[in-house]
A and B are shown apart, each in its own frame.
Chain A
């Protein structure tokens, strides 16, 4: 079965610094991978996804992630953190295809941005 591991439940960076949130996955089939962001008291919003094709995917708000099959990783990065990036970030892998493609989520990483 697919699974997702997010290293670091809390990450703190200074405003303007590089953001790196780590995600490793386990999957017996080529995975579909996702990053979601959750702001306080809100639902999850899709940041970006990898399905097929280019392994470097760009998302909203300046975030990007690179699918590395050899490392089974899908780390999320942003060159320069902004105060508004403070939120919880979830990595997810899609289990199955088509109509039964439930997402398995990691435990989340809470990003704090210091002024």
Chain B
């Protein structure tokens, strides 16, 4: 157990639908990152939140949105789903803060496998 919890583990839904993926970071970690992993695109960075605020954005579609709540858990919302959105969605957390000299790397959750049919 990495300490990062993602739910649900599997999700099957139809095209056009909306889903919410949930992530609880490791205790003490302030940053949450969302990644999409697919066979053709590899690991793509979607978005980062740090202590409740959006900090960096990657190749995230406008149909996708995320937020981080006061208790630091995060949700990734995917709407108007298309077949091509089928992928593994990973959440990672990091104990980053004001120490700019050290990067601790990420701790990953086990992912949510989304299948759009």
Contact = CB atoms under 8 A, between A and B. Distances in A.
A102 B45 contact: yes
Given A99-B55, A101-B103, A103-B106, A43 B111 contact: yes
Contact of B2 (A43, A49, A51, A100): A43
B96 A105 contact: no
B90 A98 contact: no
Interface string B31-57: 101010000001101001011000110
Contacts of A49: 103, 105
Interface residues of B, number: 33
Interface in A73-115: 90, 94, 96-108
A98 B102 CA distance: 8
B107 interface: yes
A112 B106 CA distance: 25
Contacts, number: 71
With a 10 A CB-CB cut-off, give which of A49, A96, A102, A106 has the most chain B CB atoms.
Answer: A102
With a 10 A CB-CB cut-off, give which of A34, A41, A103, A108 has the most chain B CB atoms.
Answer: A103
Contact of B45 (A41, A90, A103): A103
Interface of A: 32, 34, 36, 41-46, 49, 51-52, 90, 94, 96-108
Interface of B: 2, 4, 30-31, 33, 35, 42-43, 45, 48, 50-51, 55-56, 58, 90, 92, 94, 96-103, 105-111
